[in-house]
Each structure stands twice: as C-alpha cells, then as structure tokens.
Amino acid sequence: MVISGIINQLRNDIRRITLNLPRSINEIILKRRNRLSRDVANIIKITDAAKNYLHKKNKLNVCIEYPEYRTGNDCAFVQVPEIFAKKPKKEEDYNIISLDEINIFLSKLVNLPDNDVIIDVASFLGIKILTVSGFNSKD
C-alpha cells in the first residue's frame, strides 16, 4: 500500500512537471530571442557595398556559421565563423536577424564577440566575395 501510494505521488509529480515544462521552455526561448535580436542589432553591421552586392545578386539571405571541411574520412573544424550567401538547410539551428531587408541566419553555435561584427564584400582577382570580420579564433 505504501509503495503504490509513493508511485502514484511520483506519477502525479511527473505529470505536473511535464505539463509546466513546455511553457517554461517557450518563455526561455522567447526571452532569449528578444534579448538576442536587441543585442545583435547593435553588434552586426552590414556595409553599403555588401548591401549593394547582395541586392544585385538577388541574395537576401546570408548564413554565418562554422564551416566544416571534409577530406576523405577526416573532418577539420574551423574556429572562425564564415559567411555564405545562402539559406541554411535547417533553419531551426539558427537565429534569424533581419537588417535592411537582408535575413542573417546566425548559427546557434556561434558566440558573438563584444566588438562589432561587420559584413562586407571583398574582391580577389575581380571576383567579389562576402566577408565577415570581428571574430577571433578563440571566440
């Protein structure tokens, strides 16, 4: 009798915790998303040259993430994030920030530095590429 009473009490406690859990997680996610959008608006900057380049190429989605380079069966992890003019495959793994009609998908694995992150365009042998600066290898 005593054991069945304890088991029933544990089941009730688990149900109560489970019912309250999604609301708590949603509140945490919303608070983090709101905090992130306010902080990122002050940290990430897009130069006019980058805006013009993205509008000209009609690429209004950019992705900032840690690239993964594979050679054979080996995988090399790069510690500095890179930028790609594309939409990520799994949007749920990214925070989305919109600046000047450009959607920036920031990987949740990327830690923002204290200084400004600048999205710019560079030219090498006449080929224009997007660059992101402001990250250190230790970030």
- Tell me the H-state helices in the chain: 2-43, 48-56
Query: How far from 84 is each of 15, 62, 116, 129, CA to CA, in Å?
Result: 44, 6, 19, 9
For residue 106, is it left (φ>0), alpha (ψ between -120 and 50) or beta? beta
At 61-113, the pLDDT tens digits run 999 888 776 656 666 666 788 888 888 888 888 888 888 888 889 888 887 78
Among 123, 60, 126, which residue's Cα sits nearest to residue 97? 60
Q: What are the chain's domains?
A: 2-133 (2.60.300)
- pTM for the whole thing? 0.64
> Residue 93, Cβ neighbours under 10 Å: how many?
12
From CA 54, how far away is CA 82, in angstroms rounded? Answer: 16
At 15-47, the pLDDT tens digits run 655 555 545 555 555 455 544 554 666 788 889
> Residue 92, Cβ neighbours under 10 Å: how many?
6
